[in-house]
C-alpha cells in the first residue's frame, strides 16, 4: 500500500495541495481529457449524477455541461472549500457532501451515474468503494472511474507503488467485476506529452 493510500495522510496532503491545485491540475487532468471521458457516458439532462472525490469541482463543472444537477462528495474540507467558492455551498446545481467513498451517505438505487476522477488512487480498499458505487446506482446505472495507469518501466512502477494505487486494465477489470459491475471497458487518456497516463474504466450496475 502506498503512503497516500491512507485517509488521514491523503487529507493532510490535500490540505496543502488544495492551495495550488487549480493551477497545477490543468497540466495533468486537462479539459480535453475530461471531454473524452464524458463522451464515454450516455448522459441526459435529467439524470441523477454523483461525483465522488470531486475536489475543487473540475469534473463537476464538466458534468454540468450535460446534466442539470450534480451531487458531489469529497473527504477533504480544504478541497471542498474551494469548490464552494465556485458553485456555492448548499444550493443547486451542485449539492455537496463531505464523506468517504467507502461509506457513501446515500440510499441504495439513487443515481443514474457515478463518476470519480483522480480519487481511486487514494482509496485503501478500492473494491469496497466500487461496491458502494454499485449500491447507490440504480439498476443498469453507469459508473466511470479515472485513475493513474501503471507505468511501463520497473523503476517507475516501484516508485508508483510506494506512493499510491496505480493499476493497468487487467487489474481494473478484476476490481470492477469483483465489485459486481457488467459491460466493463477501458480507455486510456492523457495530455499530448503522455497520452496513456490515465486509465478510464466504465461499466454498468446489473439490471
β-bridge partners, 72: 51, 96
How high is the pLDDT of residue 3? 45
How high is the pLDDT of residue 122? 84
pTM of the model: 0.87
How high is the pLDDT of residue 93? 95
> Contact 72/51 with Cβ under 8 angstroms?
yes
Per-residue pLDDT of the chain (207 residues; tens, 9 = 90+): 544 445 555 455 544 445 655 666 666 779 999 999 999 999 999 999 999 999 999 999 999 999 999 999 999 998 899 999 999 987 789 999 999 999 999 999 999 999 999 899 888 899 999 999 999 999 999 999 999 888 676 565 555 555 667 789 999 999 999 999 999 999 999 888 788 889 999 999 999
How high is the pLDDT of residue 161? 58
How high is the pLDDT of residue 197? 87
Amino acid at each position: 500500500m502506498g503512503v497516500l493510500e491512507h485517509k488521514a495522510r491523503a487529507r493532510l496532503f490535500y490540505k496543502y495541495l488544495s492551495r495550488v491545485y487549480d493551477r497545477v491540475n490543468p497540466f495533468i487532468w486537462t479539459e480535453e481529457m475530461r471531454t473524452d471521458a464524458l463522451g464515454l457516458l450516455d448522459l441526459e439532462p435529467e439524470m441523477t449524477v454523483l461525483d465522488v472525490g470531486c475536489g475543487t469541482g473540475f469534473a463537476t463543472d464538466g458534468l454540468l455541461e450535460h446534466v442539470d444537477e450534480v451531487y458531489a462528495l469529497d473527504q477533504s474540507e480544504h478541497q471542498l472549500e474551494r469548490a464552494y467558492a465556485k458553485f456555492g455551498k448548499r444550493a443547486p446545481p451542485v449539492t455537496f457532501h463531505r464523506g468517504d467513498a467507502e461509506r457513501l451517505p446515500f440510499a441504495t438505487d439513487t443515481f443514474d451515474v457515478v463518476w470519480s476522477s483522480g480519487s481511486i488512487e487514494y482509496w485503501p480498499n478500492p473494491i469496497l468503494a466500487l461496491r458502494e458505487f454499485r449500491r447507490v446506482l440504480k439498476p443498469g446505472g453507469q459508473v466511470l472511474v479515472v485513475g493513474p495507469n501503471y507505468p511501463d518501466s520497473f523503476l517507475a512502477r516501484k516508485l508508483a507503488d510506494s506512493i499510491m494505487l496505480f493499476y493497468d486494465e487487467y487489474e481494473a477489470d478484476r476490481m470492477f467485476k469483483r465489485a459486481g459491475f457488467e459491460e466493463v471497458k477501458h480507455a486510456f487518456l492523457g495530455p499530448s506529452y503522455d497520452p496513456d497516463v490515465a486509465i478510464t474504466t466504465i461499466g454498468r450496475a446489473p439490471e
